[in-house]
Chains A and B, each alone.
Chain A
Amino acid sequence: MTVEEMRAIMRHRVVPEDLVVQNIVEYLMDESAQLPKLSAFAFLNRIHDLGMSAKDFTVLLEGCGAPQSAVDKIKANPAMSLNNLVLTLENSGLTSDDYSNMLYTARMVFEQTLTTADVLKQATIDDEQDEERIVSELFDDVPEVAEKTDIADGSVSEEKTSADEKADIETKTSEEKADTAEEQIPEKMPEENAELSGDTSTLIISIDPKKLKQSSAEKSLSVESLFDDNEDEKSEDDEENKSNFYGEETDEKTDEKDEDTESPSESHEEPEETKDGEIERKKGGYNKPALIISAVGACVLLLLCAYFTFFGKTDAFVKKISYAEDNDAIFAEVYDSYTAGNMGGGRAQAYFAGEKLFGNMLISQSDFGIVSDGDFVYLGSKDKITAYDDKDISTAAKAEIAPPENTEFVELFQYGNSVIAVFSGKECGFMNIKKGYVNFTVRQDGELCDFSTDENEISFGSVYVPHYTHTFNSSNADQYIPRAGRDEKTVLPAENILLGKTSGCSYAVWGKYSLSDGSTVLAKAALGDPVYAGTNGICAMNAADKDGNVFGRIISLLDTEEPVVTETDMISAAAECADIFAALENGSIKLFDAQLEEKSIRDNLPAIPDKMKFSGKVLLLGKEDSVFSSIDCANSEAPAVLETAKENGVVFGDSAVIFKTDSKIEATLLHLENGEAKQTGSFSKSLSESELSTLELGGAETAAFGEGVCAFAFRYFDGVSVVSQCVMFGKDNSERTLYDDRTGYTAVFNCSGSIYAVSSKGLETVFE
């Protein structure tokens, strides 16, 4: 044996995982560090580092016993992206140990290839002195090679003999330890022709001697061509040939394909099986497991090259927008965006109450007012709802209801004999409150963009930005899928999640729920970079093409089969009403109908809104929680600016009261008729300047409406006493006055058609 041969044997040993560069860092930082378990991702990265091609990879998987379904899936999709590949592996049932074993096999092949390359390199230097022999064996034209086969074979025999003798040292051990691959692999090494590219991490191996002629610059042989050759061989090989794991050609094959005349190292002979079940070759003994394990390595070895499809070709491709087949599909898309740092949802338009449009007036209202369920009255504020027994509202509150954690109330209204409190924040939804208690809570992931109600249902559009953590992977992907439902949220089924490569891993969520029992009527979501989710199943998103150019996408989720999609310029704000969708693009507002057909463009806006909302069919343009302009979109093809006046007051359904306190107290009762606010009553009270300066006018909590009447309370100092008054005006008039009352009138509300006023003295009936 020569030093070179012994070196080849010794260097075939695979460096343990603990000592590889990728893992040593951990040990350097922490002496007690444990070798991390290989995940699919880490495994793929390591395989990538070895420069393995996609097809080699499938061979490796198959050879190492990966589930066939996973292998088939990978084979069927050669352009599979990394995340899909991760997903496929993770779902294949492969364990960390399996990855380790496969990596070991791949590394073994990689390292032996390095060694083989060294041997060949050395051999090439040695053989330069025998140019004629090299030329005849490797570089001559095919016919000539065929003619010189005998000569070549002769040299092969010599080489093989020495190689096998060398290998026999190992083989004896191998036979005893058939389960240890590393001792067996060296046996086949001399049989391979391998070339080492300039970069030692990338190997190009060919079974075609002619290819050895190529210069280093030409060494980037197509893996497909190599693999195709191999596949051709495979398809042509009979059962007997299948035992020739090296993809080398049998004598018969050589006859058929002169082009692929064996290289010196390829001419080993067919193994024969002994009665002991051991496979022996004419030169050197091989056992079956050794051959099988060798085959895995050999197949991989043959196919190693610099081209790694899975990693090298991750060209973005725009998928058709469609509903997800399963959670894995969602994970795959999320993973894409997540790893690219595109979380999305950054431009989401949160719900804003703003001013309430009443006819041509924008009425700002400071609080939610007081509503009643018939038994209790509720005073709502952002952070709590206080329930009082309406028989004695002046006594201690029966209950205080807080919104869910990290949310605040945004609206409170009566529904039948219960009260609905809408909240928004980290999540959105509503509480059905009855008799001072929360009957049930419906929650939907994401911050509220808008909500709407009809007779018995309430719809929410929200934007959900999942809080991804480092443990994010396919096994816990459902934690990052939107949830919705009564009391305990449930994950939206995958088939209700719309996917479509929109460069983000946030969701536009749309849910419709029963107001009476909280059941979910429908809940859907669209993945991407949402700006707005409407209440009628239309959402606005931004997406990016492969060049990073951002564009807008309006998606209608209404149709379960085929979502309607329209692409626009980048969207910065949006709003939706029953049959109109408005999107703000480049400072212009585009109006679309329910089928997302563009109806008109409105530009020359007085200012660029940062939020929009519809009130009826009037589009309110908002900035910093205040509406600055309104556009009447009743005719969506010709939207017109609606001149509005801003007032302070209280709106309750079709009734409103507006206050003016410039020189006296003025209250005007309005009723909405055909979209126009008509005055139905008024009240005024003159106050001196000093009295006006102390005037405290209550908001919605001290205003109530009855049939044709309005009652409201106020307080001022007349120079002698604190005067608290509750006045009712409209078709009937009345007035209650308290002097120096500790609290004054703190609440005025309507319960079952009667209007009550509350003070420290208790409940007073103002109107029956």
Chain B
Amino acid sequence: MDKKEYRQYAVQSANGDATAFAKLYGLINRNMYYTAFYTMKTEKEAVSAVMEVARETFGTISNLHSEQQFCTYMMKALCAKIKTVLKRYPDNSLDDEQPEIKELLFELPNIERMIAVMHIAGKFSCDDIASFMGMTSAGVRKKLEHAEQKLGITE
């Protein structure tokens, strides 16, 4: 999406055009879902989190001037939402049947899991993740290395 197109959709979104917002949302929805799904326990929670973020951000993006800013904004909102839910988890056990890879990820602490998921599934850089999570890049990198070590994966 070029800048002009982005601006057009952003302005329309700010004016309440849900279809325009959906176009922008389409830029990031997959990554949002993967992040939510692999860090939260159930698909229902993941879907709910993404939908809530979409609703909450709809109409509030008029001052975001680029696709990059929009994606960051959405991911920030999602991370905040996920963190809130994660805090409520008594432990990291998965109740429902989940893909084995998710079981593997749930062996990681919550924050490490979020970072790992965003990096692996979302293809986000450490700098990006740092901005989503409100951390330093170095802190993200450290946690990511730790997570990858635990998962037994290499770059």
A residues whose Cβ falls under 8 Å from a Cβ of B: 1-3, 5-7, 9-11, 13, 15-16, 18-22, 24-25, 27-29, 31, 111, 169-170, 172-173, 176-177, 183
Contacts and interface: CB of A to CB of B under 8 A. Distances in A.
A462 B147 CA distance: 78
Contacts of A18: 47, 51
Interface stretch (B84-92, B97-105, B128-136): B97-105
Given A10-B38, A15-B30, A24 B104 contact: no
A280 to B, nearest CB: 18
A176 to B, nearest CB: 8
A3 B116 CA distance: 10
A18 B43 CA distance: 11
Given A169-B104, A173-B99, A13 B34 contact: yes
A80 B30 CA distance: 34
Contact of A2 (B29, B37, B54, B154): B154
A384 B14 CA distance: 59
Contact of B50 (A2, A11, A19, A177): A19
11 contacts: A1-B152, A2-B154, A9-B101, A10-B120, A16-B43, A19-B50, A24-B22, A29-B18, A111-B30, A173-B100, A177-B97
Interface of B: 18-19, 21-23, 25-26, 29-30, 32-34, 37-38, 43, 47, 50-51, 54-55, 58, 97, 99-101, 104, 117, 119-121, 123, 148, 151-155
A28 B97 CA distance: 30
Given A1-B152, A169-B104, 13 more contacts: A3-B154, A6-B153, A9-B101, A10-B34, A10-B101, A11-B34, A13-B34, A19-B50, A21-B26, A25-B22, A28-B22, A28-B58, A177-B97
Contact of A19 (B23, B33, B104): B33
Given A9-B101, A183-B99, A15 B33 contact: yes
Given A18-B47, A170-B99, A24 B151 contact: no
A173 B94 CA distance: 14
B100 A21 contact: no
Contacts of A176: 97
Contacts, number: 91
A507 B4 CA distance: 48
A27 to B, nearest CB: 6
Contact of A31 (B30, B55, B121): B55
- What does DSSP make chain A's interface, helix, strand, loop or mixed? helix
A21 B25 contact: yes
A515 to B, nearest CB: 58
Which label, helix, strand, loop or mixed, suits the secondary structure of the B interface? helix
B4 to A, nearest CB: 19
Interface centre among B19, B119, B151 (most CB of A within 10 A): B19
B101 A24 contact: no
A28 B151 contact: no
A177 B43 CA distance: 16
B55 A28 contact: yes
Contact of B153 (A3, A28, A173): A3
B34 A24 contact: no
Give the most central of B18, B21, B148: most A CB within 10 Å. Answer: B18
B18 A28 contact: yes
Nearest to B121: A10
A177 B151 CA distance: 23
A27 B51 CA distance: 8
Contacts of A170: 99-101
Contacts of B153: 1-3, 5-6
Contacts of B23: 21
B124 to A, nearest CB: 11
B12 to A, nearest CB: 12
A555 B42 CA distance: 64
Contacts of B99: 13, 170, 173, 183
B54 A28 contact: yes
A16 B34 CA distance: 11
Given A18-B47, A169-B100, A173-B100, A13 B54 contact: no
A180 to B, nearest CB: 8
A172 B121 contact: no
A670 to B, nearest CB: 71
A24 B154 contact: no
A280 B108 CA distance: 32
Nearest to A4: B155
Of A16, A28, A173, most buried by chain B (CB within 10 Å of CB) is A28
A170 B50 CA distance: 25
A684 B98 CA distance: 105
Contacts of B22: 21-22, 24-25, 28
A25 B55 contact: no
Contacts of A183: 99
Contact of B37 (A3, A13, A22, A29): A13
A111 B34 CA distance: 12
Contacts of A7: 120-121, 123
Given A7-B120, A7-B123, A19-B33, A24 B51 contact: yes
A6 B101 contact: yes
B18 A25 contact: yes
B56 to A, nearest CB: 10
A170 B99 CA distance: 7
A31 B48 CA distance: 11
Contact of A28 (B21, B47, B117): B21
Nearest to B58: A28
A27 B54 contact: yes
A13 B35 CA distance: 12
Contact of B33 (A16, A22, A172, A173): A16
Nearest to A21: B26
A163 to B, nearest CB: 15
A1 B155 CA distance: 9
B43 A172 contact: no
B100 A172 contact: yes
A30 B148 CA distance: 41
Contacts of A21: 22-23, 25-26, 29
Contact of B120 (A6, A29, A177): A6
Nearest to A11: B121
Contacts of A9: 101
A24 B121 contact: no
A24 B25 contact: yes
A183 B119 CA distance: 21
A643 B88 CA distance: 97
A685 B152 CA distance: 121
A587 to B, nearest CB: 47
Contacts of A22: 22
Nearest to A177: B97
A19 B22 CA distance: 10
A9 B38 CA distance: 12
A107 to B, nearest CB: 11
